[in-house]
Amino acid sequence: MKKFSYSLSIIVLLVVTLTACNSASENRFGEPENFKEAGEDFVGTFVSEGYEKKDSGADWVSVTITRIRENLFHAEVRSRSDIKKPTCTFTADVHFNKKGELVTSEYNPDLGFRISGDSLSIYSPAGKELNYFCSGGATLAGSYKRISGRPDQKQVDHTQFWKLLEYGGSTFIVQAMNDTLTIQRNFAAGIKIPFKGSIPNAETADLDNDGFPEVYVYIREGKDQHIRLEAYYLDEDVLRKISFNSKDRLQPEEEKVYYGRDEYKVNEDDGVLQRLFPIKGTKNFHFVEYILETEKGTKELRLRNVSITNMITGL
């Protein structure tokens, strides 16, 4: 592993650069007043109107929101699956915007969550239809009522994650069931990876610009809710693992203040994998960038730079 050092002047320069590069993110997200208290209102389980008639065979959808850190939440939408195929499925990490709503831009269209007492509503910030996440003409948009505990475990869809990724002529299906992550290319037999935790997102990109895409899957696990990265590159028709150990990439001064709650995101325009994690005991974050390089015929994610920022908005 290469040693990485930086001076105060380099940190200042990187923070200025980071602020400029993330102006779009700052416009989307912000810190609402009393967001610590407001955030607790979102935490819990909410169900659609049909849940009251579930024992009579009515279809229903549930929304479960948990908190990762002050301005980072995890949202899962699942529907009934015991008597029919699941209607709606959605999984993502979400952040506060300046209106005190939770939003995500991981999908197109974007999604937003509003709270009023025990009523949660899902909407599209761009005013688009939200039937992309559902089948049979259904939509995620609408109102959901808070319940205590979890949704009916005998009826609910137990899919842990599902996402279709496309890049060039390749299609990847990333799905997780029964604590097993499966990555398939073009619907062929896939790689199976055991895990414990939740999956906030999966992305595809060509960070080294060699014409062959990679797949990045983010697994959130442990009490500290750290991200375990599963990354693979396409070698002709075979998916091969990308070498990367996030803790090995932390310098001693960074490891001392690391306590999980990471975020990862591909920035293909800059050819980097970005990482953001809070610095223990402060309101600041480490912002890290990795590049993809080939070493002796295998691909490896390597540290490009590290900076410190107070950007609470997320990647």
Q: Which of 207, 201, 220 is nearest to 293 (CA)?
A: 207
CA distance 26 to 198: 27
Q: What percent of the chain has pLDDT over 70?
A: 84
Query: Using 50, 70 and 90 to split pLDDT, how confident is the model at 236?
Result: confident
**Domains of the chain, with CATH numbers?**
8-30+160-309 (no CATH), 35-147 (2.40.128)
What pLDDT is recorded for position 105?
Answer: 83
Predicted local confidence at residue 296, as pLDDT: 81
Lowest mean pLDDT among 19-23, 108-112, 137-141, 247-251: 19-23
Please name the amino acid found at residue 105.
S
| Sheet of 161-167, strand order | 161-167, 170-177, 180-185, 191-194
Residue 163: count of CB within 10 angstroms of its CB: 21
Q: Cα–Cα distance between 27 and 78 in angstroms, integer? A: 30
Average pLDDT in the chain:
85
pTM for the model stands at 0.84
pLDDT at 7: 33
Amino acid (one-letter) located at 2: K
Cα(13)–Cα(43) distance, rounded to whole angstroms? 38
The Cα 134–Cα 8 span in angstroms is 49
pLDDT value of residue 298: 87
